[in-house]
Amino acid sequence: MDFNDTAPEAEYRAKARAWLEANIGEYREPTEFGRGHADFVRHSKIWQKKKYDAGYTGITWPKSMGGQGLGPMNSIIYNQEESRFHAPTGLYAIGLGMCIPTVFSHGTPELIERYVAKALSGVEVWCQLFSEPIAGSDLAGIRTKAVKDGDTWTIDGQKVWTTNAHLSDFGIIVCRTDPSKPKHKGLTMFIVDMHAPGVEARPLKQMSGGADFNEVFFTNVKVHDSHRVGAEGDGWKVALTTLMNERLAVGGKPSHAPGYKTLMTLAAGIQTDNGPAIAQSTVRERIASTYIADEGIKLTQMRAQSALSRGEMPGPEQSISKVVVAKTMQDLASFAMDLNQSSGVVTDGSNPELNRLQGSYMASAGLRIAGGTDEILRNIIAERVLGLPGDMRPDKDTPYNEIKAM
Amino acid sequence: MNFDFSDDAKTMRESARKFLDANAGAAIARKSMNGTATYDADLWKAVIDLGWTAARVPEEFGGVGLTAEESCVLAEEAGRSLAPIPLTSVLAATEALLRAGSKEQQARWLPGIAEGKVIACVGWGEGNAASPSTAALTVKDGKASGVKLPIADLLGAQLAIITANGPKGVQLYLVDLGGAGVKTELVETLDLVRRSGKLTLDNAAVEALGDADAYQDWLDRAAILAAFEALGTTAASMDMTVAYAKDRVAFGQRIGRYQGVKHKCADMYIKLELARAHALHGAWAMGADAGELRQAASAARVASLDALSFTAEETVQLHGGIGFTWESDCQFYYRRNRQLASALGSSAWWADRLVRALERRNAA
């Protein structure tokens, strides 16, 4: 048993590290060009192009798709090295992590030729248009419709929680094309031009104050049939490809998020009626439980990496990751604010460490929902890992246009 | 990265599981509960013949000289099967002799352990001791008088490894249970399958096994073995509950369909896998003599007890009324949960030990 890279892994790590050291530039330290900054897109595009030219994009993609044709360990290693810095990468996570793999798994050669390279080099930004006000956890309940007339489809409806829609050039969208079929069967996926007439992305202000995602309205939007991804009625099957990639993408703890070390630092500096907070057994038990969750997920990921490194599939234990990480972040932040007593709610910038925890408190509420709620993830663990029977779904076999709530 | 058991350890785990599935389990546990024997002699003999007591003993002392990983997988399978045999006591005692024993002490005891002629057990409790760091028992001129309890698998054992105050604090001592001034008797505990005993010393000869530091080092290693045992017990308890939830029907459907039920099963799995990651980290630290040993062992201990207590309690709960009956197997896990929780110091004590280790590391 060991935690070391194999020789080829070490070689790849050294190469990636050397390239990053030479090219990271101003992203060595935290920058202000995060999401929401006016220059976010410009910086993201410059960094993506640099990586593309150097061969650090599409690391696991086939060479025929412009990727590097390497294994998952190479991608993990590059990401580990890159996350030591503060490069702007978030703009492409969804497009390259979910949308484009769906396009090259199910799209025509023409679509692949037109879109894949431009996405990978960062010239064009993509978003994923699945969720709707009425279709969140129950994603197949999609209402946005696409109606065919000759070679042209007309899309009408509304999507929501669409990350980066306001910054995107294209999106993959799932629409209802046959409401007379049961809900999973009448769906079709398309590529839609986000600059087309009738597409309106309205940033949705989150309770945390940020605006990472949008509601997107489609009014009489025309899409040519050549931009269909997969067969008519196969939209659910195609979407599952995307979602499988999403579960891999939304998982671990956000890098640079507060953890048990934050709690230790904080507790060492706070006095209680009974002495330093860090000497209190209740505080020590919370440090221990936070450590167990944070490090337990890290170690679980190492188990998966060990399988990948041997060329095997990771075990099902990977599925616990997000459900543990998100709630641990929330609990840690709450507890840390409690330790600060009445000043725990003061957000005036006078205590940067505390402000980070407050940010984490607000963000974690979203993380517990995004990419599969805690409840849906528990269903998945229970049903797919433990083999328990699925929930009763009374609308499963009913034609979509005849579904009534029970 | 190769953060996983070796192929040899995995092979041993498979064969141990196969054997114990066929020869141990709830029915054998019930036989033990209903009987008076201190352990299941037939099963223990078969285990000795399979070489499990010799696995970790070096070849020079008549053993096979396998690694800590093999001990970890054996502890896990023993925990899964609830086998009423002193295997995990012997594994922990072997580790103490290996780490803290002189060549003479090893030569005296390890060959007997390997052959199965010596059953060894370990104990720190005194009925009122605050934690594994404290002891009332004090050794003077190689003799001690006092009481240790409860000690799992004491009855039927030939060797006890106990804690007492030594020259530099609490440490381990060897007690030859055949010696003068040594008395053993049954002490009733919550666990009705695995018997515990009370050891009374009346000016009895005891022999120092290493020093205070060696005791602390052994505690970490014992905690890792205990974590694997707890993992096995947790997994068996979860498996039984999941099987029941797939079978039991209420309101016209199998209860596993209800989120109130299935989410608890999912939480069992989440806690089990978090604990498994930490236990595996411990197995690595133990084999590599890594600086992170204390941190890894403490986390493995706390995480495994969290998984076990949640799972054992919800196992009874999800079985409903039938789970609360004497005839149900739920009680084995529910009782064993407290046995394992108290055997090596409480979860809170180990949580504190974990934070101490983290503080030392941060200061370094």
Per-residue pLDDT at A245 exceeds 70? no
Residue A73 tokens, joined: 């360990």
**Rounded-to-integer distance, Cα A396 and Cα A184, Å:** 8
Distance from the A394 Cα atom to the nearest Cα atom in chain B, whole angstroms: 13
Cα separation, B136 vs B165, in Å, equals: 7
Largest CA distance in chain A: 78
Q: What is the nearest CA distance from B126 to chain A, expressed in angstroms?
A: 24
Q: Which band of pLDDT confidence, cut at 50, 70 and 90, is reported for residue A250?
A: very low
How many Å apart are CA B275 and CA B305, to the nearest integer? 8
Asked if the C-beta of A284 comes within 8 angstroms of chain B's C-beta atoms, the answer is yes
A164-174 per-position pLDDT tens digit: 999 999 999 99
The two three-digit tokens of residue B116, written as one number: 């199965």
pLDDT at A276 over 80: yes
Query: Count of alpha carbons within 13 Å of B161, Cβ hemisphere only?
Result: 27
Q: Say which of B5, B245, B303 has its CB closest to residue A296.
A: B303
The two structure tokens encoding residue A353: 């460490």
Taking an 8 Å cut-off on Cβ atoms, the answer to whether B299 and A288 are in contact is: yes
Judged by CB atoms closer than 8 Å, whether chains meet at A261 and B362 is answered as: yes
For range A193-205, the mean pLDDT: 96
Q: Alpha-carbon distance A263 to A15, whole Å? A: 35
User: Could you tell me if A405 lies within 8 Å of chain B, comparing CB atoms?
Assistant: no
In chain B, what residues touch A321 (CB-CB under 8 Å)? Answer: none
Residue whose entry in the numeric block shows the structure tokens 């045992």: B229
Is the per-residue pLDDT at A381 higher than 90? Answer: yes
* Distance to chain B for A208, nearest Cα, Å: 28
Give dist(CA A377, CA A325) in Å, integer. Answer: 12
- Across the interface, whether the CB atoms of B358 and A287 are under 8 A apart is answered yes
Residue B257 with chain A: CB contacts under 8 Å: 388-392
Q: Give residue A312's pLDDT.
A: 84
To the query of whether residue A353 is one of the catalytic residues in this protein, the response is: no
CA distance A264 to chain B (A): 8
Average pLDDT, chain B: 97
DSSP string, A235-252: HHHHHHHHHHHHHHHS-S
Q: Does B253 touch chain A (CB under 8 A)?
A: yes
A-contacting residues of B 204-233, CB under 8 Å?
none
**pTM score above 0.90:** yes
Residue of chain B minimizing CA distance to A319: B270
Q: How far is A39 from B17, CA to CA, in rounded Å?
A: 59
**Is residue A261 pLDDT above 50, yes or no?**
yes
Closest CA to A207 of A44, A361, A80, A13: A361
Say yes or no for a CB contact (<8 Å) between B284 and A2.
Answer: yes
Closest residue of chain A to B347, computed from CA coordinates: A285
The pLDDT tens digits for B145-168 are: 999 999 999 999 999 999 999 989
Residue of A21, A124, A246, A312 with catalytic role = A246
Q: What's the residue count for chain A? A: 406
B127: left (phi over 0), alpha (psi -120 to 50) or beta: left
Distance from CA of A388 to the nearest CA of B (A): 6
How far apart (Å, rounded) are the C-alpha atoms in residues B91 and B107? 17
Determine the average pLDDT of the residues in A14-29. Answer: 96
Crossing angle of helices B293-319 and B259-288, in 10° steps, is: 160
What's the CA gap between A352 and B139, in Å, rounded? 54
Q: Quote the CA–CA distance of B84 and B70 in Å, as a whole number.
A: 20
What residues 32-91 of chain B have any CB closer than 8 A to a CB of chain A?
A: 69
In order, the DSSP letters of A109-152 are HHHHHHHHHHHHTTSS-EEEE--BTTBSSSGGG---EEEEETTE
Q: What is the mean pLDDT of residues B161-177?
A: 96
Neighbouring C-beta atoms of residue A22, cutoff 10 Å: 9
Asked whether residue A269 carries a pLDDT value surpassing 50, the answer given is yes
pLDDT at residue A405 above 90? no
Q: With an 8 Å Cβ cutoff, is B289 touching chain A? A: no
User: What residue in B sits closest to A76 (Cα-Cα)?
Assistant: B1
Chain B interface, mutation test: which of A388, A391, A396, most B Cβ atoms within 10 Å?
A: A388
> How far is the C-alpha of B176 from the C-alpha of B46, rounded, in Å?
25
pLDDT, tens digit, 9 for 90 and up, residues B90-123:
999 999 999 999 999 999 999 999 999 999 999 9
Contact flag A386-B5 (C-beta cutoff 8 Å): no
Q: B264 CA to chain A: closest CA distance, Å?
A: 9
Helix H or strand E segment including B207: strand B207-209
Closest CB to A291: pick one of B1, B348, B358. Answer: B358
Measure the CA–CA gap between A161 and B126, rounded to whole angstroms: 60
CB contact under 8 A, B245 and A388: yes
Task: Extract the tokens encoding A264.
Answer: 């230790």
Name the phi and psi angles at A304, rounded to 5: -65, -40
Share above pLDDT 70 across residues of chain B, in percent, rounded to a whole number: 100
Q: Are B173 and B206 a contacting pair, CB within 8 Å?
A: yes
User: In the 8-state DSSP scheme, what is residue A28?
Assistant: G
Q: How buried is A254 (Cβ within 10 angstroms: 0-12 exposed, 13-18 middle, 19+ buried)?
A: middle
H or E element, residue A321: helix A321-339
* Contacts B6 to A, Cβ<8 Å: 1
ipTM, interface predicted TM-score of the complex: 0.95
Tens digits of residue pLDDT in A123-157? 999 999 999 998 998 999 999 999 999 999 999 99
Assess A261–B contact: CB distance below 8 Å, yes or no.
yes
Question: Which chain B residues have a beta carbon less than 8 Å from that of A9?
Answer: 1
Which residue in A6, A294, A299, A303 has the most chain B C-beta atoms within 10 A of its own C-beta, making it the best mutation to test that interface? A299
Of B1, B265, B354, the CB nearest to A309: B1
Cβ(B204)–Cβ(B53) below 8 Å: no
Please say if the pLDDT value at position B355 is more than 70.
Answer: yes
CB within 8 Å: A289 and B351: yes
Interface size A-B, in CB pairs within 8 Å, comes to 159
Helices (H), A185-309: 235-249, 260-268, 281-309
Report, as an integer, the average pLDDT of B267-286. 98
Q: In chain A, which residues have their Cβ closer than 8 Å to the Cβ of B362? A: 261, 264
B288/A contact by beta carbon, under 8 A: yes
Can you say whether the dihedral through the CA atoms of A191, A192, A194, A199 is positive or negative? Answer: negative
Asked if B351's CB is within 8 angstroms of A284's CB, the reply is: yes
The span from the CA of A221 to the CA of A192, in Å, is: 9
- Strand B196-205 with B182-187, pairing: antiparallel
Task: Give the whole-angstrom CA distance, residue A388 versus residue B5.
Answer: 29
Decide if pLDDT at B31 tops 70: yes
**Short-list A340, A264, A261, CA closest to A294:** A261
Token digits for B221? 């290693």
Alpha helices in chain B (DSSP H): 7-23, 26-34, 41-49, 68-81, 87-100, 103-115, 212-247, 259-288, 293-319, 330-343, 347-363
